[in-house]
A = this chain, B = another copy of it.
Amino acid sequence: MRLVIVGGVAAGTKAASRARRLDPEAEITVYQEEPEPSISECGLPYFLSGVVERRDELVARTPEQFGESGIEVRVRHRVEKVDPETKKLTVRSLEGGEVFEDAYDRLIFATGARAVLPPISGADLDGVSVLRFLTDSDEVRRYVQERSPKRAVVVGGGYIGLEVAENLCRLGIEVSLIEAEDRVALAYGPEVAERVEEHLKKNGVNVYTGAKVEEFMGDGRLEGVRFGGGEHETDLVVVGVGVRPRVELAEEAGVEIGEGGAIRVDRHMRTNLPDVWAAGDCVETVNLVSGKPVWIPLGNTANQMGRVAGTNAATGENTLEFPGVLGTGIFKVFDLGVGKTGLSEEEAEEAGFETFSVAVEAADRASYYPGAEKVFLKLIADGASGRLLGAEAAGSGADKLVDVCATAIWGKLSYPDLVNLDLAYAPPYGPTLSPVIQAATVLSGEFDRARRGVRASE
């Protein structure tokens, strides 16, 4: 059996490794346009600043290492065409330029996503970059070394923009962050966004919200950015306004694309074509809370999907399932950890839920234990059933609270469960009752009042 995988970052290499393990006889080839496979894209912002010191730390395995375990990884190769009728591929070497044919018995699309560079005048100037591949990092690092920029503009207040802002600050660069919407961290409620903005400012980042970039100015090389009606001198721009799934190849081959623009797969990561699976940042999945299709490209999920696609492609059967995601995510900006899971209040209401939501500010350990810090936690619950729909946290130990809430949502727990939940307590690790329990207790009060016909707002 010949398995061909198109794309060799998280999902592609995971699928290859799983298939290798399950079927020692299979021929497995991974095609990858970029020069390195299995790179840790989430580490790129930290490589910019040198927090991650060595480039090779971001490459999990080289093509040679894959080769040793019987997986052929061909980097700098672009698959240009897939013919599902004949099961043939057209592949171009990006080094020599030669074009050749390959064939597959089974195929996995793991083509990932690409960063969006919006159609703004001057976006092609030297000094304007996105950050998606290791080669983008190389480019920004080279530019920083050669030009020693004093001022940088980061476009986009999502997690990539925020991580890049922090890491450019570490290089001693004065950083301005521009976000077109009225707040940063748009996937979160306004309470979290406010905390993030404050924290950015505290760390010396100039934050401009509701500001659209009108032009990147310069002559060959970047000299400034025009936004909000004003011109701002700058030596470097990193654009982090989002990514789009890379689906052109699959689409041309006849693979069905979802409404959000990513590849549609079933629970077994199968596309509509026979013997063709897809996984990772190029596919859409289901939000298990709303039941609706979502496209949330993340490295951990890509890994999990890759495992399922690789297994099923190896067996040719529906051996494993990937049920969907909760929309869990986390980022760090300077010393602030910010995470969420499930639906935000806004998303829950869009999905048709009547929600109850509460927020607490709690300590991350016993108040008397040295070093206690604050953490903000918001819970969003379904007003009808009491089920937890979402959670957002910001502050010390946010990652723990988000993971607990994610597990609770996965288990369909309601607020009475959370109030009595048996979580681990000792003074260095939390207050007597976890912030999750504290928030659930407040939530319980809201439900009580509602039952007695009084809404919290009255």
Contact B404 A424 (CB under 8 A): no
Interface residues of A in 411-444 (CB under 8 A from B): 411-413, 416-417, 419-430, 432-434, 437, 441
CB distance from A408 to the nearest CB of B (A): 5
A43 to B365, CA, bound (A): 11
Q: In the complex, which residues of chain B have a beta carbon less than 8 angstroms from the beta carbon of A362?
A: none
Chain B residue with Cβ nearest A405 = B407
Contact B332 A422 (CB under 8 A): no
Tell me, yes or no, whether A330 is within 8 Å of chain B by CB: yes
Contact B366 A43 (CB under 8 A): yes
Tell me, yes or no, whether A132 is within 8 Å of chain B by CB: no
A332 to B406, CA, bound (A): 25
Q: How many residues of A are in contact with the other chain, CB < 8 A?
A: 71
CB distance from A188 to the nearest CB of B (A): 13
Q: In the complex, which residues of chain B have a beta carbon less than 8 angstroms from the beta carbon of A301?
A: 422
A140 to B298, CA, bound (A): 53
Given contacts A368-B57, A429-B399, contact A423 B437 (CB under 8 A): no
- Residue of A10, A419, A441 most packed against chain B (CB within 10 A): A419
Contact A328 B422 (CB under 8 A): yes
A404 to B403, CA, bound (A): 6
CB distance from A129 to the nearest CB of B (A): 20
Given contacts A303-B432, A407-B413, A441-B307, contact A422 B43 (CB under 8 A): no
Chain B residue with Cβ nearest A421 = B410
The digit string for A269-309, where 1 denotes a CB below 8 A from any CB of B, is 00000000000000000001000000000111101100110
Tell me, yes or no, whether A323 is within 8 Å of chain B by CB: yes
Tell me, yes or no, whether A168 is within 8 Å of chain B by CB: no
Tell me, yes or no, whether A189 is within 8 Å of chain B by CB: no
A404 to B326, CA, bound (A): 15
Selected A-B contacts with CB under 8 Å, 16 pairs: A10-B432, A46-B369, A52-B370, A58-B368, A159-B426, A303-B432, A304-B419, A304-B437, A325-B422, A329-B424, A339-B429, A399-B429, A407-B411, A407-B421, A410-B417, A411-B417
